[in-house]
Amino acid sequence: MIAAVLAAAEASEGTDLLDAELTAVILLSAAALVAIISRRIRVPFTVALVVVGLIFAFTPSFVDLKVGPEFILGLLVPPLIFEASINLPWPKLKADLGIVLAMALGGTLLGTFIVAGIVRPVLDIPWLAAIAFGALISATDPVAVVAFFKTLGVDKRLNVLVEGESLFNDAVAIVLFSLAVGAATEGESLSIGPALGEFLYVGLGGLAVGVILGYVVSAIVLKNLDDHLIETAVTLALAYGSYLIAESFGHIFKLGNFHFSGILAVVAAGLMVGHVGLENTSPTTRLTLENFWEFLAFMVNSFVFLLLGIEIDLTEIGPELGAVAIAVAAILFSRLVIVHGFSAIHQRLLPARAIPKDWRHVSWWGGLRGAISLALALSLGSAFTGEVIHTVQIMTFGVVLFTLLVQGTTIAPLIRKLGLAGRAANVAEQQRRQALLHAKRAGRDELQRLEREGLASPQMSEALEATYDDDIRRASAGLANHVRRHPELETSTLLQMRRNALAAEKRSLLDLSRRGIVDVEVTEHLAVEIDNRFAALELLEDRWESTPKIDLSEEHE
C-alpha cells in the first residue's frame, strides 16, 4: 500500500515537472518569436510580451501558470536588479547621486501619500490600504524606456537618472508597502516616528549587506581568480545570496524576527561588482560576465512581462474602469509633481547640474510600472477585507496595463518629438547611403552570377552592369562626401568596422576549433588575445563618446 502511494506521488511529481518544463519551453519560444516580430514591426518588446501574455490568459488549457509574489520578488527580480546595477556606471551615478536619491527616497514617499490622498476619499477605502497602494504603485520599471534610450541614442546621463531612480525607488516602495501592510495586519495605525526608524534601519541594513558581500566577491574572489566560469557562477550566487541574506538576516543569525531590504542589498552588491569587481577581472572574464548577465536579463524579462499579461484578468478590469481611471490620474499627477518639483529644487541648489526641461518630460511620461507593483499587489493576503484587496489589485492591474500599453508605446515618439534622439539625421543619412551602396553591389553580383551560369547573355549583362557600375560610383562618392562633412561619423564607422573585424576573427577561430583543425588550448589562448583587443576597443569607444563633438553640417551637397 505504501509503495503504491509513493509510486503515485512520484508519478504526480513527474507530471508536474513535465508540465512546468512544457510551460517554460512555451514561454521561452513565445519570447523569442515576439522578439523577432517586435523588431520587424518596431513595437516595444516588453509591450508585445504583455499582449501575448494577455492572449495566453484567455487560453488556460495552453499555458496554465499561476505564480505567487515570492516567485516574482525572490526569483525573477534579483537578477534584473543585479544586471542593471553592474551596468550602471558609478562615476556617472555618483555625479547625480543627490537628485537620484532625492527622487527615489523623497519622491517615493511624497508620491505614496499623494496617490493615497487621491484614491482614499474617492474610492472610500481604509487609509492603510490607500498607503499600501500608493507605495506599491510608486515602484517604476524602466525596462522598456531604457531599451528605447539605447536604440535612439539618448544622452547617457538621462539613462543613468531614470535607471538609478528606479533601482532605489523599488526598495523604498517595498519597505513602505511592508510597513503599511504590517500595521494593518496588527490592527495598528502607521506612526510616523517608528515607521521612519524602521524604514532607515531596513534600508541602511540592506545597503550594508550588499556592500559587504559585493566587496568580498569583488576584491577577493574576482581579483584573485582567473576562471570566467567560476567567476560568473560567483556573481550569480551573489545576486541571489545578497537578497536572501538581507531578507532573512534575523533568522539566519538567530538575532530575532527582523530583516533588511533585499532589493537594496542586490543594488549595492551589483554596484560594487560593476565598479570594483569588473576592474579586477581579465577582459575575457569581463566579456563573459557581460554576455551572461545580458542573456539572463533578457530571459528573466521575457518571463516577467509574459507573466504580467497572464496574471492580469481583463474581464475583472472592465467593471472597475472608474477606479482604474482614478488610479491612473493619481499616478500621473503624483509623477508630475515629483519629477518637476524635485528637479526644480535641484536646479536651485546645483544650477550646473540642472536637469533640462525636456528630460523631465521624458522622465515623467517614462514612469512605467511593472513586475514589482504586480507582485506586491498579489501579496496583500488577509491584511484587508476581500473587497478592498480586490479593488487595490484591479487598480494595480489597470495602472500597469496603462503604463505599458499607452506610455510604453508613445515614449519613443515623445523622445523624437523633443529632439532627444542622439542618432541625428546625419547618422540616418549615412546608414541610408551605406544600405544603398550595399544593395547596388548585390544587384551587380547577381547579374554576374546569372551570366556565369549561362542564364543571361553577355551583351545584356554588360549593359546592365554598366548601369550598376555608374550607380555604385555615385553612391560610393556620395557616402565618402557625407562622411567628410561629418568627421564624427568617420571615427564611429572606424570603431564599428574594427568591432566587426574582431568578431569575424573570433568566429573563424571557433570554427577551426569545432572542426578539429586547431587544439582547444590554442583556441583559448588566441581567444583571450581577441578579447583583450575587444576590451581596448571598448575603452576607445567610451573615451570617444565622452568627447564633445563638433557638428560641421552647414555644408550642402
| pLDDT the model gives residue 332 | 96
The Cα–Cα gap between 383 and 436 comes to 63
The Cα–Cα gap between 431 and 177 comes to 49
User: Count of CB atoms within 10 A of residue 416's CB?
Assistant: 13
Instruction: Please provide the CATH number assigned to the domain covering 43-417.
Output: 1.20.1530.20
pTM: 0.78
Q: How many CA atoms lie within 13 A of 427 on its CB side?
A: 11
Compute mean pLDDT per 10 residues along the chain, 557 residues long, and list them: 40 60 83 87 84 81 64 87 90 90 93 95 92 94 76 82 90 89 80 79 93 93 85 94 93 83 94 87 80 90 86 84 94 96 94 92 92 87 85 93 92 87 66 82 81 76 81 84 72 74 78 78 79 73 56 39
What is the grid cell recorded at 335? 509623477
The Cα–Cα gap between 493 and 312 comes to 45
The Cα–Cα gap between 313 and 455 comes to 60
Q: What is the DSSP letter of 330?
A: H
The Cα–Cα gap between 82 and 542 comes to 22
| pLDDT the model gives residue 73 | 85
| pLDDT the model gives residue 487 | 67
Distance of CA 3 to CAs 9, 10, 13, 210, 408, Å? 10, 10, 15, 47, 55
